[in-house]
Each structure stands twice: as C-alpha cells, then as structure tokens.
Amino acid sequence: MTTTQTRSPSVTSAIRLTVNDSEHEITLDNRTSLLDALRDHLGLTGSKKGCDHGQCGACTVLLDGRRVNACLVLAVAAQGRRITTIEGLAEGDGPEGLHPVQRAFVERDAFQCGYCTPGQICSAVGVIEEARAGWPSAVTPPGATPGHLDENEVRERMSGNLCRCGAYANIVPAVLDAAATATPGLETGSHETPVTTPSTIEPEKPAEPEENR
Ligand code: FES
Ligand code: FES
C-alpha cells in the first residue's frame, strides 16, 4: 500500500510591522517566525539565528521594550507592536550615538566572535529595565528591595543568552556598567572585575629557561 503525503497549502497574510520606528508592509506565510521576517524579508540581519529553538538567545529582540526570542514569535503576532532590533538601539552615528549597553560592551571588551553579541545586548537592555521595574528573578531573595542588580542577578537574568567563546567574564561588568550609568533609580552591586581591553592586557612574561630555575 502506498501512502500519499499531502501538504496543506500555505496561508499568507499581509501584515504591517513597526521595526526600529519604521513601518513595513509585507505579505508572509502565517508560519513565518519574527526572526525570519526580520532577516529574510526586511534585511535586518543583526539578529542572529543560532538554534532556532529558543535555546541560545542569539535572536533576542525587544517587543514593546521586553525581550523575546524572535525565533519563537510568529511575525503575524508581532503586528501592531513595537519591535526593536540591535540595528535600532543606537541613537546616532559614531561612538557617541551608541546605546549605553553597546558602549559598555565596547569599553569592557565584552564580545569576541560577535555571533551572540546582538542578542546579549538586546537582552541586557531588557534585563536592566526589568530590574529597574522591580521584577524579581530566580535568585532574588524573598523580600529583597526591588530595583537591585548585582553580579548574581545579571548572571541569572542573562542565562538564556549563550556565548560559545567565553566572553561571559566581561559581559557581566558591562551590563552592570550600563545599568549604573544609564538607569537612575536602579541600585547596582559592585563588581571587582577590572576593565580588560586589549590595550590594558599585560603581555605574558616569557618562560624562564630551564637551567635558571
Ligand atoms: S535562535 Fe532563537 S533562541 Fe536560538
Ligand atoms: S562572543 Fe558570544 S558566541 Fe562568541
């Protein structure tokens, strides 16, 4: 007996997306993810596709100011909402126009390959706003003062964003720097990690010859 597989015909919708303050009208298969709509239909390739399963955070964008994994959101569901991608965070050209989180990532050298960086930065913008609004995380002690961000909080809140190259050590202080400088009313915990940019890294001393040991 042979089985014939039939595919249901795709159903499309004409939708209007507001991305980085610009309006776009596009017709999409209803099953298109927001990530694919941004990358493949609008040419906004800053948001990266890592796992396409909600596990890596590379695709993080802001939806009405709250972070989401764009690979898990249908584009049709984002209609009428304010979408901000990494391309929309800076407010002008040049280093001065960078968003405070972007600037902190540069100053702290908080990235290496850049694949996870757009998602890390969008996520950090969401994290700082969540903390400022007093939303607790899994590590917030019961009864803690709302609006506090420290290293533990940053690690927990950023745990959905994976980095394969080990830039985590600098990401945490970068997020705390941005939170401290750009968010009035948000109390930030101290962090002891010094700024380590390429210009401040001490060259390694050559190994001593064996006969001198
Ligand atoms: S690509 Fe969306 S979470 Fe990995
Ligand atoms: S800097 Fe994040 S994956 Fe490389």
- 33 ligand 2 Cβ < 6 A: no
pLDDT digits (tens, 9 = 90+) for 47-86: 999 999 999 999 999 999 999 999 999 999 999 999 999 9
Tell me what pLDDT residue 190 has. 53
Enter the pTM of the model.
Answer: 0.84
CA distance 125 to 170: 16
CA of 167 to the centre of ligand 2 (A): 6
- 49 ligand 1 Cβ < 6 A: yes
Q: Sign of the CA dihedral 113, 69, 73, 6?
A: positive
CA of 80 to the centre of ligand 2 (A): 32
- 160 ligand 1 Cβ < 6 A: no
Q: Sign of the CA dihedral 86, 88, 89, 90?
A: positive
Q: How many residues does the chain have?
A: 213
Among protein residues, the one whose CA lies closest to atom 3 of ligand 1: 54
Tell me what pLDDT residue 146 has. 78
pLDDT digits (tens, 9 = 90+) for 105-144: 999 999 888 899 999 999 999 999 999 999 999 999 988 8
Write down the H helix ranges in the chain.
Answer: 34-36, 100-107, 117-132, 151-157, 168-182
pLDDT for residue 6 is more than 90: no
CA of 92 to the centre of ligand 1 (A): 28
Query: 78-83 long-range contacts, Cβ below 8 Å, gap at least 24?
Result: 78/17, 78/34, 78/37, 79/15, 79/16, 79/17, 80/16, 80/18, 81/18, 82/18, 83/17, 83/18, 83/19, 83/20, 83/34, 83/38
CA of 21 to the centre of ligand 2 (A): 28
pLDDT digits (tens, 9 = 90+) for 146-203: 788 999 999 999 999 999 888 889 999 999 999 998 766 677 775 544 444 433 334 4
